[in-house]
Structure 1
Amino acid sequence: MQSTAYPDPTRENLLDAALPHVVFDGWGPETFRAAVSDSGVSPALARVAAPRGSVDLAAAYHKRGDRAMIAALGETDLSALRFRDRIAHAVWLRLQSVDREVVRRGMSLFSLPHNAPEGTRLLWETADAIWTALDDTSRDVNWYTKRATLAGVFASTVLFWLGDDSEGFMETRAFLERRIDDVMQIEKAKAGLRGNKVFSAAFALPNALIGMIRAPAGAGRTDVPGTRSTPPGGAQ
């Protein structure tokens, strides 16, 4: 698994060389061959750094966007914002960290059946990066539901953004606000059900089983490889 915090230098070199070609040729074999030629990386080393070719470079571009978002969040004072506004701001920063046409080409790549699992994993990583950057402390089933919900919000917002021609993408911003409002309404409904004695009694056993679910062992730790949100010395 490629690391978000510690990008491979050779893969990043290939990615830089690939980007000028992506808009015209997509994330295909031609782009990978052009990246190898333009970067000066030997074909053998390129295959070690990116064994799946352009798929690995597209994934690296997505992870680069996550790193840029994390760095931007670290430079922003969020103390005056409500938590739902912090989430919206993080998603907005994530959209601003990438090129729309490159993302459009990436959506085409990861919509292919054999690449769909990788696309899903990348969405999950982005949601996890946002929650981690916002100091999420959940370690029970909420760790999973928060990330799954945000991944859905992020994916739908990206799709809307790709077709948005409004000035400054303000229609996308409004769409994002509506999606987060929808999620907040669901959370309020869940809280109301938990406070209902009849509901609580009827679902006592399922709730007990759900209460046994815990976040992955490495979540929130800095001494486990791949779990640091930023490398030593700051974000790359």
Structure 2
Amino acid sequence: MARQTEPSELDRILDAALPLAAFDGWSDDVFRRAVSAARITPEAAQIAAPLGVLDLLSHWSSRMDAAMVARLEAADLKSMKIRDRVTLGVQARLEAIGRHEEAARRARARLMLHDAGTLGAELIWQTSDLIWRSLNDPSTDFNWYSKRAILSGVYVSSLSAWLNDENPDKAKARAFLDRRIQNVMEFEKAKAGWRKMTADLPDPAQILAGLRYPRRRA
């Protein structure tokens, strides 16, 4: 039988904060109350989460990412088409929110404040990157970035649809995700066709690299 590990202090604070944040948002006061509820000393809380609620949001995102990766690792991906794999990845990440949808809505608002900086964008990119890596995506160079950028857009819009869909089965949100993935697949087909037509033309990435790093003259 696998040995269970004790939750970290950060996990304990996060678990205490989630129901509080659903009502009061991700504030410094909620952080202090969560620390008290988790029976963590202020000194230990400062070490575990020096950025307060922003560290909690980062940890929550990572925890949901881990749940998503576990779902993908347990799935029979080889028998699925690429669009179904990507859909499963996004859907698994959305389902990882579970009963904490109001806390997720509040988190989205909190990450838009100026002191959050680029944290929200970084967390979205991390999620998209993990989906592609879990699907063993072989892309490199420009494709590596473009796939993650496109999937980030799909995830953000699908998250909004998910949180706005009040039906337990999330039928509207799932249909929205299917449409977005279909749009991405159509884009990929168009991009592949464009590559065939421009196969003999200079690589724009090489041209840009040459402008940035010009060759030295002999």
TM-score under structure 2 normalisation?
Answer: 0.86
Alignment partner, residue 186 of structure 1: 187
Does the aligned pair in 2 maintain the 1:141–1:210 contact within 8 Å?
A: no
Q: Alignment partner of 2:79: what SS? A: coil
Alignment partner, residue 53 of structure 1: 52
1:18 aligns with 2:17: yes
Aligned positions of 1:168-183 closer than 5 A: 168-183=169-184
Alpha-carbon shift at residue 18 of structure 1 (Å): 1.2
Report runs of 4+ in structure 1 exceeding 4 Å deviation: 209-212
Q: How many residue pairs were aligned?
A: 202
Alignment partner, residue 29 of structure 2: 30
Alpha-carbon shift at residue 175 of structure 1 (Å): 0.5
Alpha-carbon shift at residue 81 of structure 1 (Å): 1.4
1:118 aligns with 2:103: no
Q: Percent identity?
A: 41
Which structure has more relative contact order (CA 8 Å, sep 6+)? It is 1
Q: How far apart in 2 are the matches of 1:210 and 1:101? A: 45
Alpha-carbon shift at residue 139 of structure 1 (Å): 2.7
Does the aligned pair in 1 maintain the 2:19–2:103 contact within 8 Å?
A: no
5+ residue gaps, structure 1: 1-7, 213-236
Q: 1:92 to 1:211 in 2, by over 3 A?
A: farther
Alpha-carbon shift at residue 210 of structure 1 (Å): 7.1
Alignment partner, residue 79 of structure 1: 78
Q: Write 1 or 2 for the structure with the bigger share of helix.
A: 2
5+ residue gaps, structure 2: 1-6, 211-218
Aligned positions of 1:1-236 closer than 5 A: 9-98=8-97, 99-196=100-197, 199-201=198-200, 203-209=201-207
Alpha-carbon shift at residue 194 of structure 1 (Å): 1.0
Does the aligned pair in 1 maintain the 2:67–2:96 contact within 8 Å?
A: yes
Quick check: which has more Rg, 1 or 2? 2
Q: How far apart in 2 are the matches of 1:37 and 1:157? A: 35
Aligned-CA RMSD value: 1.9
